[in-house]
Amino acid sequence: MIPKTLDPRGWRCVVYPVLSSTFLRFWEQYALCLRAGTKLWTTSPRRTCSSAVLSYFTCLAEEAAVSVSTSGASSSGAAGSQLPPRKMIGVLLLFLLFLLYIAAPQIRKMLSSGVCTSTAQLPGKVAVVTGANTGIGKETAKELAQRGARVYIACRDVQKGELVAKEIQTMTGNQEVLVRKLDLADTKSIRAFAKGFLAEEKQLHILINNAGVMMCPYSKTADGFEMHIGVNHLGHFLLTHLLLEKLKESAPSRIVNVSSLAHYLGRIHFHNLQGQKSYSAGLAYCHSKLANILFTRELARRLKGSGVTAYSVHPGTVNSELVRHSSFLQCIWRLFSFIIKTPQQGAQTSLYCALTEGLENLSGNHFSDCHVTWVSAQASNETIARRLWDVSCDLLGIPMD
């Protein structure tokens, strides 16, 4: 039983004054930082907005503190009971949101720790990046062009590709950014791309198999493969096969396969590789990303001593168009867009694997945030990797060795 002399909202009498004084103390410290010019944020609109919100909250906090001390003086033992609780909770919520807002660049930086620090320059080098008309691929192509490479944007929509090529040319001053049509959902288009490329280029030093689709409704490629395994794995498998001799002739050269952490949920079900028995759009993506890692391992094993090395990467969770087929993921991506990686940050691990000196003995490994990282048990299973290689050759009509 609560004695009648005590405030029935007992806990509030303690919590509100404590919260408001902590709140006030925080702002005092924060204002000091601000006055001392401590860099708590990176962009000027954020700074302007922060200052405005800061003064608003400081006023509110002072008001709250005054209210606490007045109520404490007027009703001994029931401090804070006069505080309007809704206002206090509202203020606290706003305060938390604001904290999240000002901390966003730091949180994003923390979550995207890997940065490619290689200073390698690429004059005279040739690179192909698939799906480079947007997202991670575009940023990868931009950086390679910035370093002086001749970059091929291999994409299915040439018009989009041309716009991006112009943008990269203007930004980097490198005019050797070329666009060629490549639809990974059609082996004819892949063969036509390879034929054209081999006819016009004498060398190929960097191949970045970046393009990808995610969570498509069940559909098939022009050759009847399930879309995820067809585009993400088989398309890149065929492209790599067709360009391999050129990569060997240009050694040292590198292949980077953009996979995903999602491979952990993937399984290679050889009896259901095309989703003919059961299909889940989410899992189909995971299976195809597992296939990327298995392909990389087997490719690296077969290429030992050739001067061509291969790496698979997880770019991180990146704000791109990848989630276009899922409205649920689009909402989540939008909601967290201020902390997930930018495409430029997402491109860092691909660039690291393509450029970092002395990485050759790590060929076949999987990278995340510019470090070698663990893969699932299936992804490190050599028997599955060899069988997937053979099955892929069989499906694509490629001689096995």
Q: Active-site positions?
A: 285
Nearer Cβ to ligand NAP, position 13 or 211? Answer: 211
Buried b or exposed e, range 296-321, using 16+ CB within 10 angstroms: bbbbbeebeeeebbbbbbbbbbbbbe
Nearer Cβ to ligand NAP, position 250 or 312? Answer: 312
CA 381/CA 306 separation, integer angstroms: 23
390 C-beta neighbours (distance < 10 Å), count: 12
- For the bound state, the minimum distance from the C-beta of residue 156 to ligand NAP, rounded and expressed in Å, comes to 4
- Return the range that interacts with ligand NAP (CB under 6 A); candidates 12-20, 212-220, 239-247, 356-364: 212-220
Map the footprint of ligand NAP across residues 45-74, applying CB under 6 A: none
Map the footprint of ligand NAP across residues 234-263, applying CB under 6 A: 258, 260
Does 231 contact ligand NAP by CB under 6 A? yes
Q: Which amino acid is at 40?
A: L
Q: Where are the alpha helices (DSSP H) in 231-302?
A: 236-249, 281-302
- CB of 290 closer than 8 Å to CB of 232: no
| CA angle (252, 249, 347) in 5-degree steps | 45
How many residues are recorded in the chain?
Answer: 401
Sign of CA dihedral 279, 282, 285, 291: negative
Does 7 contact ligand NAP by CB under 6 A? no
- For the bound state, the minimum distance from the C-beta of residue 227 to ligand NAP, rounded and expressed in Å, comes to 8
> Which pair of structure tokens corresponds to residue 222?
């022009």
| CA angle (342, 103, 100) in 5-degree steps | 100
Nearer Cβ to ligand NAP, position 133 or 172? Answer: 133
- For the bound state, the minimum distance from the C-beta of residue 382 to ligand NAP, rounded and expressed in Å, comes to 23
Does 210 contact ligand NAP by CB under 6 A? yes
Does 135 contact ligand NAP by CB under 6 A? yes
- For the bound state, the minimum distance from the C-beta of residue 62 to ligand NAP, rounded and expressed in Å, comes to 43
- CB of 287 closer than 8 Å to CB of 228: yes
Does 112 contact ligand NAP by CB under 6 A? no
- CB of 361 closer than 8 Å to CB of 368: no
**Binding marks (x or -) toward ligand NAP, 295..324, rule CB under 6 A?**
-------------------xx-xx-xxx--
> Which pair of structure tokens corresponds to residue 301?
């094993």
* CB within 8 Å of 365: residues ≥ 6 apart: 311, 312, 372
Q: Where are the alpha helices (DSSP H) in 215-280?
A: 227-228, 236-249
Does 122 contact ligand NAP by CB under 6 A? no
- For the bound state, the minimum distance from the C-beta of residue 182 to ligand NAP, rounded and expressed in Å, comes to 6
> Which pair of structure tokens corresponds to residue 233?
């794995």
Does 136 contact ligand NAP by CB under 6 A? yes
Does 275 contact ligand NAP by CB under 6 A? no
**Binding marks (x or -) toward ligand NAP, 175..204, rule CB under 6 A?**
-------xxxx-------------------
- Return the range that interacts with ligand NAP (CB under 6 A); candidates 56-64, 205-213, 241-249, 379-387: 205-213
Does 281 contact ligand NAP by CB under 6 A? no
193 C-beta neighbours (distance < 10 Å), count: 22
- Give how many residues touch ligand NAP by CB under 6 A: 29
> Which pair of structure tokens corresponds to residue 2?
């609560």
Binding site for ligand NAP (CB under 6 A): 130-131, 133-137, 155-157, 182-185, 210-214, 231, 258, 260, 314-315, 317-318, 320-322
